[in-house]
Amino acid sequence: MLSPLSHLLPNTKHLLPNPQYRLPTQPSMTNSIIQVENLGKKYILKHQSQERYTSLRDVISDRVQSIGHRFMGSRSRTLIPNQEEFWALKDVSFKIQQGDRVGIIGRNGAGKSTLLKILSRITEPTHGRIRIKGRVASLLEVGTGFHPELTGRENIFLNGAILGMGKAEISRKFDEIVAFAEIEKFLDTPVKRYSSGMYVRLAFAVAAHLEPEILIVDEVLAVGDLQFQKKCLGKMEDVGKEGRTVLFVSHNLATVKQLCTRAILLANGGILADGNPIQIASKYMQSFTTNSLSDAKKTYHHIKGDRRAEISNITINNISQNEAVVSIFDQIEIAINYQLNQPIQEIEFFVLVSSFDDGEVQASLFQRDSNTRVKPTSNQGQLKISFMNHFLPGRYTISAGIFDEHKKFVDWVEYVESFQVESAFKNGQKYDHRLGKISLQGNWHVE
């Protein structure tokens, strides 16, 4: 079935069904569609030297040392001094029943994406065992499973073939996929000319409509527009009601609570909590006991984004030591300091304001809406954004990130600063309880 396209798929062998992940017929596991036992994944982190220039002598010396380690130290577990072990997952065990919609949450660096890659058979675990019953469709990164030279039409059949589906089965769903993705005009255009949003629309449509028993979706849906995100969430809810299983990673806790019937909280590569989505989301937000940016960087910067640039500091209303306190209709100014690790032509920033109690995103601010971008001229810089505070009394957290000109993540830090809205208006009037989440001042004209 794959032979006509096999010459175009040099790197997709790992996406084909692997017998070792199949769930054997056992009486004790008839209700579990996924079973994970003592799963662990280890990476070796190599720390590069800070020297700006390397001589030919250094290169030759390093190569000789490498050969020496290969022959003399291959049986030793001792790491080279500039390397260290990093366990992305440690002794993770859980079972998922057929029809469950499971949200996987946690700070960046907790192991969420690594877990999904292992379940999708893209990455092999270091130890442990996974048993899966049924076909798995995953949407982890923009363009996963697509061949850039093929058209959208051809890639629909390619993705179906990767999922193990026959041509007749794909043809039966073809019109429904195209209609959902809303790309009919570009169906016969090579996908290398698609935008990242078009990639996601088509990829999700294929993954959701070709009837896999298990659908795995990472944060990639954030690339799409808001209307399409809602469309995708509705489709995932329908998939779960049809008896199929959904695993969903998202930083939007409100979405997790709305969509999922169960949530798993990961922390430092292990399971911290597992249960009701509302309770797990609350436990997750309670884990943010400090507003330290340095703590966030330890768990985030090397995970999301390529770090060509990174956020080094954030302040609110020029307050760096204590939490900023503002009134309703006060002005809020957020200053973002950043540094460049590699040359980059253009970057743009975004800020998310979330409720501290449950992590639900209350507002988002994107630099692209002002039709401006940052064109760095030095290794360090600062960006400021200001807006009137319309939030009602409570505590709110700030997350921020960087995109490049192609909408690819460069960096992202979560819940790194917070501010408190007091029970008073800017004019000194005390707050009287009102409906809604924000208060709008408006311009009132009496005729």
pLDDT of residue 34: 93
Joined together, the tokens standing for residue 309 give: 């640039």
pLDDT digits (tens, 9 = 90+) for 269-321: 999 999 999 889 888 877 765 444 444 444 444 446 778 998 988 999 988 76
Cα gap 354→363, rounded to integer Å: 7
Cα gap 334→419, rounded to integer Å: 11
Q: Which ranges of 143-225 would DSSP assign to H, the alpha helix?
A: 152-162, 167-181, 196-209
DSSP string across 65-134: HHHHHHHHSTT--PPPTTEEEEEEEEEEEEEEETT-EEEEE-STTSSHHHHHHHHTTSS--SEEEEEE-S
- 444 φ/ψ sector (left φ>0, alpha ψ -120 to 50, else beta): beta
Cα gap 80→64, rounded to integer Å: 14
Helix (H, G, I), strand (E, B) or coil at 267: strand
The yes-or-no verdict on residue 433 having pLDDT over 60 is: yes
Mean pLDDT computed over every residue of the chain: 79
pLDDT of residue 36: 94
DSSP string across 381-438: EEEEEEEE--BPSEEEEEEEEEEETTS-EEEEEEEEEEEEEEEEETTSPBP---SSSB
- Structure-model confidence comparison of residues 66 and 191, the more confident one: 191
What's this model's pTM, rounded to 2 decimal places?
0.63
Cβ atoms 86, 45 nearer than 8 A = yes
The phi and psi torsions of 201 (rounded to 5 degrees) equal -60, -50
pLDDT of residue 85: 83
Residue type, 64: V
Cβ atoms 256, 275 nearer than 8 A = no
Helix (H, G, I), strand (E, B) or coil at 210: coil
Q: Which class for 391: exposed (0-12), middle (13-18), buried (19 or more C-beta within 10 A)? A: buried
pLDDT digits (tens, 9 = 90+) for 83-109: 778 888 999 999 999 889 999 998 877
Domains of the chain, each with CATH number or no CATH? 19-39+87-286 (3.40.50.300), 293-425 (2.70.50.60)
Cα gap 174→177, rounded to integer Å: 5
Q: Which of 35-49, 50-64, 155-169, 335-349 is predicted least confidently?
A: 50-64
pLDDT of residue 144: 63
